[in-house]
Structure 1
């Protein structure tokens, strides 16, 4: 055991040494990259209150270590590499400018909000309680995000990081870019470094956050159903001009040789003279509000259900605050699956539907339960537990079978099956005269009978008045012992056929019908669905 402990310590020390060496090498690369920056342009950006990370980003410095270092260290690197103070003295001949720059750098490290990223790359933000939160570097920020993710209780095997930023960031960046182009376009460094496409604030944040989050959450970032979304929104401080009623609203001014668009803190856009270094972007008084939302793409649990009661609707049925029926298939199944997935809610989808007074027997009807933002992804064992729990309900109104976790393609297959698959029924039918052998023969001989059905009267209040052609594939007739006016009708039809209307004709709205074929009145007394053939979904 002692040898194992020693080996572990050696391995850990070696890993730490390797990591330290890698960090040192990245620091060197960053130092070399910064040495090539034009000091006077860097000073210009700092004077416009552009944070150091945005400066690196705008100059296309890709060494990502700068996101992992605190601002004070980053400014130290810039000062040593570019000798900003010497440049300021050389340009202005005034040490007061140096003091001003130092004063600004100190205040920026403490509190100043970047005029471009609005604090996003400074890892400074207002949380949901409006409390100001400031982190020195990406790892601290990632730790806060990871803790919030863990608090929400999701089981995850990967994640996708999404970032949403206010449009003000892009607008302010465009102003800075226009300003730099107008002022420095003729200089060689501008052509070589500043004109090339640079990384955006959104991508810079995602790149700096991904690796620390992977370590803290213990999973990889990939194309995942689980999403971590950071939404930044900026509430502009009300300016004195806005209070006096001036410059209200958004006014876009076309740029010319001497003007660029300047986005102000009150949301207005004004012109600024690019030749005047004292006309920077208006300072924002606070960083963005940030909200973190964790969500999982819906998961689908599917199977087949059987309904044994003639007083249970398929979905929750409430009219004028009064429930119709004693329960619903939707609630009995979805209400028992949702708690085991720990989701926010569910939607129930079925391959067609039966009336409240129609039982669903035989092989059952295919269904899907769509669980929204499930925190637990059920295993095969827990799926079996769900099935047993539903089937052991005391009411015994509904049972399920073939329950399993399905991909989102299950929904497409089921919707396709609603129109294209076949369904079998058994109906107890009464006719207004004694049935004859000729009647039995006439009905049984009909194959692939085309029926035109106008939207039934009983559903006109919720369905469009359309004519639908459906197919009755076959029918079989059984006499009912002890009565000459009752028959048991077995039939196989195209999905979506109105069976009750096919029997009684619905005042001529369905033609032909059992009544019109036999030349008498026909009424359906009881109806059961005995088979729904959709093997591709759940078999």
Structure 2
């Protein structure tokens, strides 16, 4: 709905007279062109509201509508603070969106002015509803003025808050009398807010949350509102101020596959009773250089399953992804990712990235998560028979799709719930070894003939008895989630059947490697 020019002029001049700033007086007159708010001193002449330019009235109090939010000094301070915050943190994103949080008391004052103007100018019910729809919101006008100036200072393009934008600037404005003004709601809608007042733990966001006040405004009748809140609003003794400006970029993901070559390395930092048990971890070796490079606040390490501390992951490697929270650097070309991969691989011999790191979309993470339950995995285990006579291994080689029932292993029962799981061993291949020289559980480096961890395998073999006759290698393909160690030794009968049970002899596992995780990733 639009008013006649005479009516707009009346509303404008009345709004000024009761203590509104020029910009709010233009708002309440229904002016919706952003250009009129850039230079409000001359806009009233252009619009025909007055015959001569007026100066902004400098009162001892801020605007009764916006509480000074649309004041030139407040706007300039916001523009400068936003630009400083963004430029200091060096975000490389080309676009941004800006979210403004204003004092809750503004909602009460807007309602008060709508009622006051409707009564003053005798709006019909239809006209009052149209007036409410026509008047631009304070946030809207603020963005019309601020965002173009911010764009110039940070060299980025602003997009609407409704658009999907990875980089968000949050501006929080505060008002010292905010809660005092909201106390009028206790009289208007006592039951709603008294309950919140009594249950402070439940309503930790405050007695007068934005959502609760919005709901109260909808449910409060006009006469009830006027009875407990002044119309027009009273002159505020202080104005809003910039409480905080924060910047945040949505999570960015990189991923790939890693090989773990050590039998003394946990996947994630390992703490017991607050004490770190190992110097480092797969997560730290892979993720710390990435986090440092992209200047992220923090990260989350995601992987397709996990290996035990004493289990290696070889060949094609284990799929993983890193969620980088609030990264500053997000433009990662293939060359940059390749260089980052090389730096990580040359920094340690314990873990290597297979291939190169890649940028990963959030949607593709579903593949990583779903793979935990649907993928198959292949292992190579070095097993030891502890009694004589030695059995034939042919029975193992003939098994296909063996269903195994496994209770939660004793070794992890302290941190996982007791449950019974049905798993499938798809295929096995077992063979005796004649000497320790034939053992090669470590794939050789493609760029070198060296096998840096073969000594570790020698140490394991030296701890075993009757090496030449009691050891065998077991290659097996299993359903994801199978406890392979327990499948070998039976875990005191908690896994059935087990290799021990099938061979009818005591069998233990000396070493275990993951040789393949069959998942299309990345």
Please, what TM-score do these two structures have when normalized by structure 2?
0.78
- Partner in structure 1 of residue 393 of structure 2: 440
Deviation, 1:418, is 1.3
- Partner in structure 1 of residue 225 of structure 2: 260
Bigger CA drift: 523-532 or 378-387? 378-387
Identify which of 250, 257, 272 aligns with 2:186: 250
Which runs of no fewer than 5 residues in structure 2 stay unpaired? 190-218, 436-467
The answer as to whether partners of 1:38 and 1:82 remain within 8 angstroms in 2 is no
The answer as to whether partners of 1:231 and 1:292 remain within 8 angstroms in 2 is yes
Partner deviation per Cα, 1:358-377 (whole Å, 9 max, x = no partner): 11111110111121211112
Deviation, 1:75, is 6.1
Identify which of 242, 249, 253 aligns with 1:300: 253
| In the alignment, structure 1 residue 494 sits paired with structure 2 residue 445 | no
Question: Using the alignment, how far apart are the partners of 2:220 and 2:510 within structure 1?
Answer: 80
- Partner in structure 1 of residue 462 of structure 2: none
Deviation, 1:430, is 1.6
The answer as to whether partners of 1:39 and 1:84 remain within 8 angstroms in 2 is no
Question: Using the alignment, how far apart are the partners of 2:517 and 2:129 within structure 1?
Answer: 69
Question: Using the alignment, how far apart are the partners of 2:179 and 2:78 within structure 1?
Answer: 29
- 1:66-145 correspondence to structure 2 within 5 Å: 66-69=36-39, 71-74=40-43, 81-82=49-50, 106-108=57-59, 112-125=61-74, 135=76, 142=79, 144-145=81-82
The structure-2 alpha-carbon separation of the partners of 1:42 and 1:476, relative to structure 1 and needing over 3 Å to count, comes to same
Partner deviation per Cα, 1:103-149 (whole Å, 9 max, x = no partner): 9x6224xx642222222222554xxxxxxxx63xxxx8545533432
Q: What is the SS of the residue equivalent to 1:206?
A: helix
Partner deviation per Cα, 1:431-471 (whole Å, 9 max, x = no partner): 2334756x412111111111122111111221122222211
- 1:76-225 correspondence to structure 2 within 5 Å: 81-82=49-50, 106-108=57-59, 112-125=61-74, 135=76, 142=79, 144-186=81-123, 190=127, 194-222=131-159, 223-225=164-166
Q: What is the SS of the residue equivalent to 2:11?
A: helix
| In the alignment, structure 1 residue 414 sits paired with structure 2 residue 414 | no
Partner deviation per Cα, 1:239-261 (whole Å, 9 max, x = no partner): 7x99xxxx798332696675534
Question: Using the alignment, how far apart are the partners of 1:57 and 1:317 within structure 2?
Answer: 59
Which runs of no fewer than 5 residues in structure 1 stay unpaired? 1-31, 86-101, 126-133, 263-269
Deviation, 1:46, is 2.4
Deviation, 1:288, is 3.5
The structure-2 alpha-carbon separation of the partners of 1:510 and 1:171, relative to structure 1 and needing over 3 Å to count, comes to farther
Question: Using the alignment, how far apart are the partners of 2:37 and 2:86 within structure 1?
Answer: 21
Q: What is the SS of the residue equivalent to 1:366?
A: strand
Partner deviation per Cα, 1:242-286 (whole Å, 9 max, x = no partner): 9xxxx7983326966755348xxxxxxx344x5xxxx63352412
The answer as to whether partners of 1:124 and 1:287 remain within 8 angstroms in 2 is no
Q: What is the SS of the residue equivalent to 2:135?
A: coil
Question: Using the alignment, how far apart are the partners of 1:195 and 1:487 within structure 2?
Answer: 82
The answer as to whether partners of 1:123 and 1:141 remain within 8 angstroms in 2 is no
The answer as to whether partners of 2:103 and 2:173 remain within 8 angstroms in 1 is yes
The answer as to whether partners of 1:237 and 1:285 remain within 8 angstroms in 2 is no
The answer as to whether partners of 1:34 and 1:82 remain within 8 angstroms in 2 is no
The answer as to whether partners of 1:60 and 1:193 remain within 8 angstroms in 2 is no
Bigger CA drift: 279-288 or 166-175? 279-288
Identify which of 58, 63, 86 aligns with 2:33: 63
Identify which of 147, 172, 176 aligns with 1:235: 176
Question: Using the alignment, how far apart are the partners of 2:221 and 2:266 within structure 1?
Answer: 69
- 1:388-537 correspondence to structure 2 within 5 Å: 388-393=342-347, 395-401=348-354, 402-434=356-388, 439-481=392-434, 483-535=468-520, 537=521
Please, what TM-score do these two structures have when normalized by structure 1?
0.76
Report which structure shows greater RCO (CA 8 Å, sep ≥6).
2
The structure-2 alpha-carbon separation of the partners of 1:299 and 1:186, relative to structure 1 and needing over 3 Å to count, comes to closer
The structure-2 alpha-carbon separation of the partners of 1:76 and 1:285, relative to structure 1 and needing over 3 Å to count, comes to farther
- Partner in structure 2 of residue 354 of structure 1: 307
How many aligned residue pairs are there?
454
Partner deviation per Cα, 1:274-317 (whole Å, 9 max, x = no partner): 5xxxx633524121334211111111111111111111110011
The answer as to whether partners of 1:346 and 1:369 remain within 8 angstroms in 2 is yes
Question: Using the alignment, how far apart are the partners of 2:72 and 2:413 within structure 1?
Answer: 58
The answer as to whether partners of 1:230 and 1:291 remain within 8 angstroms in 2 is yes
